[in-house]
Structure 1
């Protein structure tokens, strides 16, 4: 017992009560609030960037003028600029960025591999191959998403045939994926050389990654297909969460692990291929964004997956605005900016994965 007089005189101090550890529900609530906050920040950033995309250019417009033009009101010249040039490019950036980021997040969880992403695994290269092949055959641009989907699936088959037997360790996954990507890029270059002159320019954008010249027929087809694939992924999300527990635990809970992984892999590759159909092989969005979201928002949940999509859309739209308005060289593809940002990130990840376990956990 401590005397009141001693406390008043300062000769004794009461013992501090030990802080109780936060309960699991409190931790989850904090993570959820943090993820929602990050999602709100990304949504606000998208609103600001979209406003810039619609108003800034060779023909400057006020916000109200651009918004009126977007719905077909006002001067017909301004309506044409917004509806036929700026709005399709804006929507394509949002769709492609969100699709690539979500696909990368799911692949990294599915393979339990931080280097698993559509561009590293060759899926975006396969999508480019399929898109250019559609152009080479003279088909309508509205068929491009189907060609991209077929090319992405081809890349996945090649990757599985060349790398699956080894259990897909990190180094083999990267090397096989880069080999598949290089081989398909060579096939695209061969087709570009063989194209008639009037089609060569349209095909080159699928070798570098660009949002230039997007049209509503391409976007409408890809948007519908992306929504269907995202709906399928939402249905499979519970299975993905169970697979996070490990194959043995998932099997105990009644999940057929091999079939579930194959179904999720097919859905994710379809999403990445459809996103790449709008842009070509955009590098490192699918690789870097899921890592950043995990660091900021915490462990993967359905909310963080949605936040990952918003973050990917924000990143790609921001990079495209940099390409259009901030660089002294005009006409650069957006893939140049994303590759410049993402290449050091890939190097850091590979060095961390190749480091000894003791050094990584130190």
Structure 2
């Protein structure tokens, strides 16, 4: 009788102990959605002509005064939507790369992918082609950067430190090429192209947002379909191979998906730093080990961070017209330095 009661007590305690961990990701997601909704309201309500939050929300939904609807839907909402879409793409890409390479330094901006996307977007802009083709050009530029990374770094095997160093070199080289094109442009094109050198959501149109947003949504579906393969890869190549997974093909699929997400995000914002690098760390700290839920949470956190950074750039800093990339880079530079120092210390300890 005593044993039965003791067993009942243990079985009653275990679910209660697990419940907080099981609910952590949904609760964080719910809180994140609420924060994002507040930021969206603030974004569409503030500008040269401030609006009451209720009127701004009505305008976003196509209700209320026609003038308010025009201001919100044609000028403010595309910028807000671009920040949300790009934040999702960058954060999920960073989460995929960091998990794939098992290294906190692996991110699209550090490894040169966003620089390649900016190169492709600016090159397309130089041709005078339709704005709807810029995401496709950015994707081509991101794949170009990934190919350069493979040529210069993959020959010695997938060594993450080598990948990061070569990625930084690729990023710098492509940034130099973008700057050369910008200074060579006619005056009327130079201003439009300059936004891709620092990262900005200013002047985004619904055409760009819808094209890039639809492509990001498709890439996100692929990312979640690949999540189970990532979980098997976490066991190590030998164990994954024993379970029937073709590890090289799986790694390539995850890598291409991450490059696509980062490139499409860069088509909207340019090479925005920090988001892809830091958001996965924040989510792991708050939500725990990687799961499909934390991958979705990374996308939500990325949209919050990029939209909040854009609001800071627009309304809280004394310099008007400051690109959002300046804000994220200011946050990201010390973060990257700290990660590199920590990574170097870990390598030195393991070598002893």
Q: Same fold (TM over 0.5)?
A: yes
Describe the shift of the 1:163–1:210 C-alpha distance in structure 2 as closer, same or farther (beyond 3 A).
Answer: same
Moved more, 122-131 or 193-202: 193-202
Pairwise CA distance, 1:77? 2.5
CA deviation string 1:98-146 (max 9, x = no partner): 1100110010011111100000000000010010011001100011110
Q: Which residue of 2 aligns with 1:212?
A: 202
Pairwise CA distance, 1:71? 2.9
SS in 2 for 1:355: helix
| Unaligned 5+ runs, structure 1 | 1-18
Q: Which residue of 1 aligns with 2:234?
A: 244
Q: Which residue of 1 aligns with 2:48?
A: 58
Check the 8 A contact 1:205/1:333 in 2, yes or no: yes
1:85 to 70, 75, 81: 75
Pairwise CA distance, 1:197? 1.3
Relative to total residues, which structure has the larger helix share, 1 or 2? 2
1: distance between equivalents of 2:24 and 2:250?
Answer: 30
1: distance between equivalents of 2:42 and 2:128?
Answer: 35
Q: Which residue of 2 aligns with 1:332?
A: 322
1:70 and 2:41 are equivalent in the alignment: no
Q: Which residue of 2 aligns with 1:38?
A: 28
1:111 to 101, 104, 126: 101
Check the 8 A contact 2:198/2:325 in 1, yes or no: yes
CA deviation string 1:332-355 (max 9, x = no partner): 110111111111111111111111
Q: How does 1:300-319 map to 2 (within 5 A)?
A: 300-319=290-309
Q: How does 1:52-201 map to 2 (within 5 A)?
A: 52-201=42-191
| Unaligned 5+ runs, structure 2 | 1-8
Check the 8 A contact 1:124/1:280 in 2, yes or no: yes
* TM-score of the pair, normalised by structure 1: 0.90
Check the 8 A contact 1:120/1:178 in 2, yes or no: yes
SS in 2 for 1:299: coil
Describe the shift of the 1:22–1:168 C-alpha distance in structure 2 as closer, same or farther (beyond 3 A).
Answer: farther
Pairwise CA distance, 1:24? 8.5
* TM-score of the pair, normalised by structure 2: 0.93
Check the 8 A contact 1:32/1:303 in 2, yes or no: no
Describe the shift of the 1:171–1:22 C-alpha distance in structure 2 as closer, same or farther (beyond 3 A).
Answer: farther
Pairwise CA distance, 1:201? 0.6
Pairwise CA distance, 1:39? 1.4
2:334 to 321, 344, 348: 344
SS in 1 for 2:189: helix
Structure 1 or 2, whichever has the larger Rg, is 1
Q: Would you identify which runs of 4 or more consecutive aligned residues in structure 1 move more than 2 Å?
A: 19-32, 71-77, 165-171, 356-360
Describe the shift of the 1:152–1:357 C-alpha distance in structure 2 as closer, same or farther (beyond 3 A).
Answer: closer
CA deviation string 1:287-326 (max 9, x = no partner): 0010011011100001111111111111111010000100
